[in-house]
Amino acid sequence: MNPLHGFGSQLLLGAVSTAQLALASLVVGTLFGVLGCWLQLSGSRPMRSVGYLYAAVIRGVPDLLVVFAIYFGGSLTLATLTGRYVEINTFLAGVVALALSFGAYAAEIARGALQSVADAQREAARSLGLTPAQTLWTVVLPQAARIALAPFGNQAIVLLKQTSIVSIVGADELMRKAAEASGATRQPFTIYLAAACIYLALTGLATLGLEWCERRASRAYAR
């Protein structure tokens, strides 16, 4: 007897969609994080204010509300602009919402990592005749990247689990498939236990990837 009542393939399709959602959100969110960090470290006070405001607002609001704001707010905005109802793609809305959330934390991680590089490193680079751009790319960023790797990776794993909230707006990811299977089979414990195992497998792979990256970074730094 199949304990998943034939819904195993649907759960696997949901797992693939979850991985795609997490990866797309990670890429876009990293770009948001770089932009947010650049704003926070800008020499312009208004730009710094925008950067800090972005991080403070997004980190202070539950991710679920961010998803609702992007999905329903996006539909309302497009309807106002076009004069007719426009339904936002759930996958796209999920990517934007999760990327905004991830970007706010990534901006803080990047800013902290850059500021943790000792000023003596920059002074030594200048004394060797390096330009500010050369100092940034060859001295500051490599050290900051190594410092930021662990918290950035941990936040990426959190992002993977946060994809589950996008099911609330109808995205066909793992939790959505699990809810559909649970309703059809009337076996919620079995179905959700299977979904939990899939999440554990995904986060386990992500953790192994993060550990590999940390080992490579430490080996390169030791050289």
Each residue's pLDDT tens digit, 156-193? 999 999 999 999 888 888 999 998 888 888 888 888 99
Interacting residues of 159 by C-beta distance below 8 A, sequence separation 6+: 22, 25, 26, 29, 98, 101, 102
Q: Are 198 and 15 in contact (CB under 8 A)?
A: yes
For Cα atoms 26, 32, 33, give the angle at the middle one, nearest 5 degrees: 85
DSSP at 128:
T
What letters, b where the CB count within 10 A reaches 16 and e where it falls short, cover 174-197?
A: bbbbbbbbbeeeebeebbeebbee
**d(C-alpha 174, C-alpha 65), whole Å:** 20
Per-residue pLDDT of the chain (223 residues), as tens digits, is 566 667 678 889 999 999 999 999 999 999 999 999 999 998 899 999 999 999 999 999 999 999 999 998 888 887 787 878 777 889 999 999 999 999 999 999 999 999 888 888 888 888 888 887 888 888 888 888 888 999 999 999 999 999 999 998 888 889 999 988 888 888 888 889 999 999 999 999 999 999 988 888 777 555 5
pLDDT value at residue 7? 67
Domains of the chain (ranges; CATH) run 13-222 (1.10.3720.10)
Task: Give which of 104, 134, 95 is closest to 35, Cα–Cα.
Answer: 104
Would you tell me how many other CB atoms lie within 10 Å of the CB of residue 156? 21
**d(C-alpha 108, C-alpha 155), whole Å:** 11
For residue 85, give both structure tokens: 């109802």
